[in-house]
Amino acid sequence: MELTWLAIAASLMMGLGAAAVFVFAVKKDYFRDLEDTKYQVFWSDLEELVDSPVLSPKENLDGSGSRKP
């Protein structure tokens, strides 16, 4: 029975902690512009794809067409 009360108290403390973090984030305006952040991540991923070299199956990393043994 004592362990049950300990588990209930721990879960309530975790819930209150999560609520406090949420209130802190709202007051610090962390949820101001989520759309802009989404597009920043999206475009940075596209830039990495564009900047990465595309190799054909016959090319090696050194750029030659010959196969290494």
pLDDT confidence band for 62 (50 / 70 / 90)? low
pTM, 2 dp: 0.49
Rounded to whole angstroms, the Cα distance separating 21 from 60 reads 51
Alpha helices in the chain (DSSP H): 2-27, 34-51
The torsion angles phi and psi of 52, rounded to 5 degrees, stand at -80, 140
Output the pLDDT for position 8: 97
pLDDT confidence band for 61 (50 / 70 / 90)? low
Residues composing the chain = 69
What digits encode the pLDDT tens for the residues 20-49?
999 999 999 888 877 887 777 777 776 666
Output the pLDDT for position 53: 61
